[in-house]
């Protein structure tokens, strides 16, 4: 049986939806419970002590939860009156069924004039940020939403002097963008491909009109589970590229583009990887008439070829605005 308590704020905001997508799961003791249930079925006399043991473990997970956060915009400005919905998980054990259940205490906070909010002395095993809302703003997709406490493998350590920073983007006028997703195969022998985001095509050419060029290098024969040297290059066509870690890729930089981005992965690298996921870039192309951004997964070995898996958006009006 699940129970639920709710603490409602007296302040109500007219706001757009900024729901935080789940990126983590909360550890469960159901596996341990099932094992104990099976062993206790053979020896009913052990049922009560084992149930007490599991109950004590779960009760130990419900510890005081403190959380300190601060909400800012894309320029680092404090954001007051942001509506935040929180959910505290409080697991418990049901001896009769040897199952783990949980209460969920739902709470709401509104940021103060400096963008701060806090939660203190609420018992539970984990805290979820369910939504962060303010009219006219959009929440960063990189917002962490689950914070574990107590004996979790990587518990959160709250610090009122070092709050968790949450970023939102102040929405402006939507840009007219060309967008797309492509899963392009690449022959990894150093040949050059031109990616044309207007026509959303890939051309095997080093001089065709387009927006970026790409080439991949690796050995012709790659054995499964064995390391190998591999490298690639990304070049802006009549422009350049900039690698970025921006939360929001809604405004391309005016300057700072480099003609080519080069990457190599050596077998001598202790952090050797078989692929690179979620690499983010801004690009400028066609003599500055096009600005855009793309996120790409690069897989050097995939069914005897390589993969350039890209999601992109581009503004062909000459504006640097990339806000969808």
Residue-wise pLDDT tens digits, 59-79: 888 999 999 999 999 999 999
Summarised one tens digit per residue, pLDDT across range 273-312 is 999 999 999 999 999 999 999 999 999 999 999 999 999 9
State how far Cα 288 lies from the chain centre: 31
Q: What is the dihedral of CA 5, 118, 130, 153, to 10 degrees?
A: -100
> Is 91 in contact with 62 (CB distance < 8 Å)?
yes
User: Within the chain, which residue ranges are assigned CATH 2.60.40.10?
Assistant: 4-170
> Is 166 in contact with 86 (CB distance < 8 Å)?
no
CATH class of the region 4-170: mainly beta
Write out the E strands in the chain: 4-7, 63-72, 83-94, 99-110, 116-124, 126-133, 137-139, 146-148, 164-170, 178-186, 193-196, 201-203, 212-217, 230-236, 240-244, 260-265, 276-285, 290-302, 305-315
Q: If DSSP codes are grouped into helix, strand and coil, which group holds residue 60? A: helix
Q: Over 80: is that where the pLDDT of 131 sits?
A: yes
Note the pTM of the prediction, 2 decimals: 0.81
**What tokens appear for 195 in the block?**
């990616």
130: Cβ contacts below 8 Å, ≥ 6 apart? 19, 20, 85, 86, 87, 106, 145
Q: Over 80: is that where the pLDDT of 271 sits?
A: yes
Least confident stretch, 64-78, 93-107, 109-123, 205-219: 93-107
Top-confidence residue, 137 or 99: 137
**Degrees (nearest 5) of the Cα angle 48, 51, 56?**
125
Rounded to the nearest 10 degrees, the angle between the axes of helix 47-61 and helix 30-42 is: 170
Q: How far apart are CA 301 and CA 276, in angstroms?
A: 11
């Amino acid at each position: 049986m699940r129970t639920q308590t709710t603490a409602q704020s007296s302040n109500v905001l007219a706001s757009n939806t900024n729901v935080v997508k789940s990126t983590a799961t909360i550890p469960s003791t159901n596996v341990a419970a099932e094992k104990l249930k099976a062993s206790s079925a053979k020896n009913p006399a052990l049922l009560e002590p084992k149930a007490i043991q599991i109950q004590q473990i779960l009760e130990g997970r419900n510890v005081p939860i403190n959380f300190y956060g601060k909400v800012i915009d894309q320029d680092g400005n404090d954001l007051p009156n942001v509506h935040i919905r929180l959910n505290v998980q409080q697991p418990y054990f049901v001896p009769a069924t040897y199952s783990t259940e949980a209460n969920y205490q739902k709470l709401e906070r509104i940021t103060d004039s400096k963008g701060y909010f806090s939660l203190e002395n609420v018992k539970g095993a984990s805290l979820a940020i369910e939504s962060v809302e303010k009219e006219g703003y959009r929440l960063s997709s990189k917002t962490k939403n689950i914070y574990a406490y107590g004996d979790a493998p990587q518990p959160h350590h709250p610090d009122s002097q070092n709050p968790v920073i949450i970023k939102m983007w102040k929405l402006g006028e939507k840009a007219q963008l060309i967008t797309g997703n492509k899963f392009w195969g690449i022959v990894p022998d150093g040949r050059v491909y031109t990616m044309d985001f207007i026509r959303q095509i890939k051309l095997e050419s080093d001089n065709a009109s387009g927006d970026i060029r790409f080439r991949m290098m690796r050995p012709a024969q790659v054995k499964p589970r064995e390391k190998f040297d591999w490298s690639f290059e990304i070049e802006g066509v009549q422009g350049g590229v900039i690698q970025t870690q921006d939360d929001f890729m809604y405004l391309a930089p005016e300057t700072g583009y480099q003609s080519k981005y080069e990457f190599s992965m050596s077998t001598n690298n202790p952090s050797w990887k078989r692929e690179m996921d979620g690499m983010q870039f801004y690009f400028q192309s066609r003599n500055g008439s096009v600005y855009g951004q793309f996120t790409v997964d690069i897989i050097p070995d995939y069914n005897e070829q390589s993969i350039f898996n890209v999601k992109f958006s581009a503004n062909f009006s000459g504006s640097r605005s990339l806000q969808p």
